[in-house]
A and B are shown apart, each in its own frame.
Chain A
């Protein structure tokens, strides 16, 4: 379990990158939900925490590949492989990520 930041430091529509190996991106969507996925686009070397967040979709800043944050599954080309998703919890006002060990599977 990795502490990320305080709740109030991650506003809606924003993201934060956790420098784990591999790095993880944590997002707070417009409805306040928290999601965590691998930060590196499965298509090419780009950081999804720098991408475009729209609802539960994150769009890669380099080639506009899009992933569903709930499942990690790409919703369009050029990405064809799913991201690992990670459980997010809030404890005493601090956001934590529980890193998934197994490889992500396409739903």
Chain B
């Protein structure tokens, strides 16, 4: 391969560039990113960046020195518009075309939009929201109680705003944590004095002078100065419509991140790897290693099976989860204790068990035992797949 193009200049795209050089690729490397910013880290956007504890310099994933070492051409603020797989050409919105031998798709996902509400996905989103949040105490309504919604709500509460969280499902994080632990984590909202309503969908937003009226499915209406939607993300695959790649809630690839074309791999939030699309920071940093190995080899050699891992910081508590929960798993608190249906003062560690085997582990403010349990899970997976 003489030219490799990476479309997407965020976490997964940057890690793919690093892996290409680390694995000895010395040809031309082009990185295309639709945002004008060099690669930055998104997790702090809903946490320390929003509260003002961290500024933009803390978000940078790379610096000029490293970028020089990667010896790549960075086309930032440029959006890809299409892919001609037969001609091996990436089409850009500014009319340029890039002929390429290999392609890494790392276009991520975009926040599901809700007109009239802020979303929080990009640095520009976070800048806009942060500016609004510094205008004195306000009524904030957060739609969606998942990770982004909960973290954003916690940051708004820490800044002294009056916060209401709305969740359409009976509990947030049900698919990820199961009912028992979803309920435990949901208590963090109430303990922080945040109003928390579940099982109620939003039917619409209306401007009423300076405020926004949030109409609920149960007939009630809330008034908000600021509305924030954290209602999921949609993989950025529209630019691939009409290409020969298989799409379906992401770019479909095998367990080695390889698409139907061996010269095209996909990593990060946009990739549906072996049937699973994981929107986790750790997936975006782990997948590029195997993807690049397979891209350079021209076939699937590496099919890693890492244990999924995510973390979330909410209301001063750190939630960490590793493994896979399935309905029917038994959940036991094995360290620490629960207090009033929430985490005890010293946090806790819970194990999810299936047929007598630990399949997942959840910790609130118990990082050391969590790391130990996460490593055990990793070893168990290695044993099972070798």
Q: Contact: A44 with B44, CB < 8 Å? A: yes
Bound Cα distance A101, B370 (Å):
33
Residues of chain A in range 64-84 having any CB-CB distance to chain B below 8 Å: 77-78, 80
Q: Contact: B375 with A62, CB < 8 Å? A: no
Question: Known: A45-B48, A52-B375. Is A62-B311 also a contact (CB below 8 A)?
Answer: yes
Q: Contact: A51 with B371, CB < 8 Å? A: yes
Contacts of A62 in B (CB 8 A): 311, 318, 320, 367
Q: Contact: A50 with B367, CB < 8 Å? A: yes
Number of CB contacts from chain A to chain B under 8 A: 37
Asked if B130 is at the interface of the complex by the 8 Å CB criterion, the answer is no
Q: Contact: B66 with A61, CB < 8 Å? A: no
Q: Mostly helix, strand, loop or mixed at chain A's interface?
A: loop
Asked if B368 is at the interface of the complex by the 8 Å CB criterion, the answer is yes
Residue of A nearest to B363 (CB): A61
Contacts of B18 in A (CB 8 A): 77
Measured CB to CB, the closest approach of chain B to A16, in angstroms, equals 12
Bound Cα distance A63, B44 (Å):
13
Bound Cα distance A24, B126 (Å):
32
| Proximity string of chain B (343-386) to chain A, C-beta cutoff 8 Å, 1 when within and 0 when not | 00000000000000000000000011011100100000000000
| Proximity string of chain B (170-194) to chain A, C-beta cutoff 8 Å, 1 when within and 0 when not | 0000000000000000000000000
The 8 Å CB contact of B66, one of A45, A47, A80, is A80
Question: Known: A44-B44, A45-B48, A80-B66. Is A59-B371 also a contact (CB below 8 A)?
Answer: yes
Measured CB to CB, the closest approach of chain B to A88, in angstroms, equals 21
Contacts of B375 in A (CB 8 A): 52
Contacts of A78 in B (CB 8 A): 61, 285
The 8 Å CB contact of A50, one of B48, B66, B368, is B368
Residue of A nearest to B61 (CB): A78
Residue of A nearest to B372 (CB): A52
Residues of chain B in range 273-298 having any CB-CB distance to chain A below 8 Å: 281-282, 285
Contacts of A77 in B (CB 8 A): 15, 18, 285
Contacts of A61 in B (CB 8 A): 320, 367-368, 370-371
Contacts of A46 in B (CB 8 A): 367
Contacts of A80 in B (CB 8 A): 63, 66
Residue of B nearest to A43 (CB): B41
Measured CB to CB, the closest approach of chain B to A3, in angstroms, equals 24
Question: Known: A77-B18, A77-B285. Is A47-B371 also a contact (CB below 8 A)?
Answer: no
Bound Cα distance A50, B318 (Å):
12
Bound Cα distance A28, B368 (Å):
16
Residues of A in contact with B (beta carbons under 8 Å apart): 44-47, 50-52, 59, 61-63, 77-78, 80
Q: Pull 11 A–B residue pairs with CB atoms less than 8 Å apart, ordered by A.
A: A44-B41, A44-B43, A45-B48, A51-B371, A61-B320, A61-B371, A62-B311, A63-B281, A63-B282, A77-B15, A80-B63
- List the 3 closest A-B pairs by CB distance, nearest first: A61-B367, A50-B367, A52-B371
